[in-house]
Amino acid sequence: MKKYVFWILVGIFFSSCDTQEEIKTISTKELKALLAKENIQLMDVRSPKEIKEGSIKTAMFANYFDNDFAKKVTQQLNKLKPVYLICRSGNRSGKACKILKEKGYNVINVSGGYNQWKKEN
């Protein structure tokens, strides 16, 4: 019985350490306001096919599904500045945020992604 209690407590501990809680998010409206007044690092992690359908003018690109995604992204970014990540809906960019956060970047996920951006702009 003690063994089961131990593993339950270990599970609770590690589930509370999830980095998702620590990932900041902004809306696409907040992103638009930032883009109007600042030169920010905006990384679009969608596929090339998705990018062809439209993109934000100042964004950098790295396909989340590429095997060397982390390497490509870190080569383009300044670690001293915040990084805003966007994808189609906010899911992939959230995963990309976790990867970059583990590498020491200050990351912000754009909730709603490019789909929401298109609806509003």
Determine the pLDDT at residue 3. Answer: 54
Structural contact between residues 63 and 47, judged by C-beta atoms closer than 8 angstroms: yes
- The tokens describing 110, both together, are 């754009």
Give the sign of the dihedral formed by CA 114, CA 108, CA 31, CA 60: negative
Determine the pLDDT at residue 2. Answer: 54
Residue 102's closest CA among 2, 37, 14, 20? 20
Q: Which of 87, 96, 97, 100 is catalytic?
A: 87
Rounded-to-integer distance, Cα 120 and Cα 28, Å: 8
Q: Would you write out the chain's pLDDT as a tens digit for each of its 121 residues?
A: 555 444 454 454 444 444 445 899 999 999 999 999 999 999 999 999 999 999 999 999 999 999 999 999 999 999 999 999 999 999 999 999 999 999 999 999 999 999 999 999 8
pTM for the model stands at 0.81
Is 87 annotated as catalytic? Answer: yes
Domains identified in the chain and CATH numbers: 19-120 (3.40.250.10)
Residue 109's closest CA among 62, 45, 16, 37? 45
Determine the pLDDT at residue 8. Answer: 55
